Amino acid sequence: MEILRIEGLTKVFGSGRLEVRALQDINLSVSKGELVALLGPSGSGKTTLLLCISLILEPTAGKVVFDGQTIFQKDGWEGGADMRRLRREKVGFIFQSHNLIPFLTARQNVLLPLSLIGIKGKEAETRVKELLEYMEIADRADYLPALLSGGEQQRVSIARALANNARLILADEPTAALDTGRGTKVMDMLKRIARENQSAVIVVTHDERMIEGFDHVYHLKDGCLERNVMPESVNE
Ligand SMILES: Nc1ncnc2c1ncn2[C@@H]1O[C@H](COP(=O)(O)OP(=O)(O)O)[C@@H](O)[C@H]1O
Ligand SMILES: [Mg+2]
C-alpha cells in the first residue's frame, strides 16, 4: 500500500543569478513498511528533499500525496493548517544531530510529541516506556541528553519520532555522527521499525556500508533522482 507519492517535485532557492535548483522533477513512491535509502554527495539536495516531503519546506512545484491524500499541489498547500497536524500526527523526523531538548530527560523528550497530539497521563507514560524499551534505552530514561552517548541520543530521538506512531519516518544522516558500531545499531532500529511497525522509512546517508538490507536505494545527483536496482531485488 502506497503511503507517499511525489510527482514532479521541484525546489528552487533564490532567483536570478542567485537561483539554485536544489531539486529537479523528482518522482518517488514509497509503500508501507518499505525501507528506502537516499544516497548522494553533499549539496545534492538530500536534506531539501526530506524537508519538502514533510512540507517543512514548501516545494516550488510538483505534487505530494500522503496516505492517499493530496497535501501539496503546485499552486499551493492543499488543506493548509491540516498539513501541520498531519505532520505532527503521522510523520517522524530524525535529524543528523539528534535535536533533543537539552533540559528535558530522555523520557520527557519522548513525551513531548505525545502531549502535542493530546495523549496524556497514564496512556502517555506507558507509551513512552514501551518506546524506550523498544529502542533498548529504558535504563537511561531519566538522563539528560548531555549524559548520553551519541548513539543513545540518536535512539532516544528515534523513540521520539515514533511516539506518534508515525506512518512515515524520515531520517537525515542519522548515523553521520556515530562510529560504525553505534551507527549499525541505530540503522538496525530503523530497519526494525519498517519490518515490525510497517512504517515507511526513508534514510539519507552517504555511508554505503549502512544500506545493506534496504528495499530500494536512490541516488541524488545535482537535484535529480536516479533509481538504483539492488542486486537482491532483481529477482522480485
Ligand atoms: N535555504 C537555502 N537557501 C539557498 N540555498 C539552499 C538552501 N538550502 C539548501 N540550499 C542549496 O540547495 C542545494 C541542496 O542542499 P541540501 O539539500 O542541503 O543538500 P544535501 O543535504 O544533499 O547536502 C545546495 O546547493 C544548497 O546550497
Ligand atoms: Mg543534508
User: What is the residue-wise DSSP string for 105-136?
Assistant: -HHHHHHHHHHHTT--HHHHHHHHHHHHHHTT
Q: Quick one: what percent of the chain has pLDDT higher than 90?
A: 52
Residue 2: beta bridge partners?
31
Range of the domain at 208: 2-231
More confident residue, 5 or 235: 5
* Residue 52 Rama label (left phi>0; alpha psi -120 to 50; beta): alpha
Cα-based distances in Å from 232 to 29, 110, 204, 227 = 19, 36, 20, 14
The average pLDDT across 108-137 equals 92
Single-letter amino acid, residue 197: N
Q: What is the mean pLDDT of residues 124-142?
A: 93
Establish if 189 belongs to a structural domain. Answer: yes
157-181: pLDDT as tens digits: 989 988 887 889 999 998 887 888 8
Radius of gyration for the alpha carbons in the chain, expressed in angstroms and rounded: 18
Cα 131 to middle of ligand 1, angstroms: 33
pLDDT given for residue 233 in this prediction: 46
Mean pLDDT rounded to a whole number for the chain = 87
Query: What is the arithmetic mean of pLDDT over 134-157?
Result: 93
Sheet holding 76-77, edge to edge: 20-31, 2-13, 61-66, 69-73, 76-77
- CA 48/CA 204 separation, integer angstroms: 11
Residues, CB-to-ion distance under 5 Å, ligand 2:
46-47
CATH number of residue 83's parent domain:
3.40.50.300
Q: Is residue 145 part of a domain?
A: yes
CA angle 100/210/31 to nearest 5° reads 80
If one compares 121 and 209, the residue with the highest pLDDT of the two is 121
Across 19-154, the runs of DSSP E, i.e. the strands, are 20-31, 35-39, 61-66, 69-73, 76-77, 91-94
- Closest residue CA from atom 3 of ligand 1: 13
Q: Is 15 near ligand 1, meaning CB less than 6 Å away?
A: no
Average pLDDT over every residue of 81-100: 77
Whether residue 236 lies inside any domain: the answer is no
Q: Is the minimum distance from the CB of 47 to ligand 1 under 6 angstroms?
A: yes
pLDDT digits (tens, 9 = 90+) for 195-227: 988 899 999 987 777 888 899 999 999 999 987
Render pLDDT for 28-80 as a digit per residue (tens, 0 to 9).
Answer: 999 999 999 999 999 999 999 999 998 888 899 999 998 888 888 876 666 55
Side by side, the strands of the sheet bearing 91-94 are 91-94, 168-172, 200-204, 35-39, 216-221, 224-228
Whether the predicted pLDDT of 230 surpasses 70:
no
pLDDT at 232 over 80: no
- Please work out whether the CB of residue 48 comes within 6 Å of at least one atom of ligand 1: yes
More confident residue, 209 or 7: 7
Say if CB 2 and CB 29 are below 8 A apart: yes
The answer as to whether 102 is a domain residue is yes
Ligand 2 centroid to Cα of residue 126, in Å, is 34
193 pLDDT above the threshold of 90: no
- pLDDT at site 3: 93
Assigned domain for 62 exists: yes
Tell which atom from ligand 1 comes closest to the C-alpha of 51. 17
Look at ligand 1, atom 7, and give the residue with the nearest C-alpha: 13
Domain count of the fold of the chain:
1
Element containing residue 203 per DSSP (H, E): strand 200-204
Given this model, what pLDDT does residue 99 score? Answer: 84
Asked if residue 110 is part of any domain, the answer here is yes
Residue 79 belongs to a domain: yes
pLDDT at 68 (0 to 100): 87
Is 200 contained in some domain? yes
Residue 236 has pLDDT above 50, yes or no: no
What does DSSP assign to residue 206?
S
pLDDT at site 85: 74
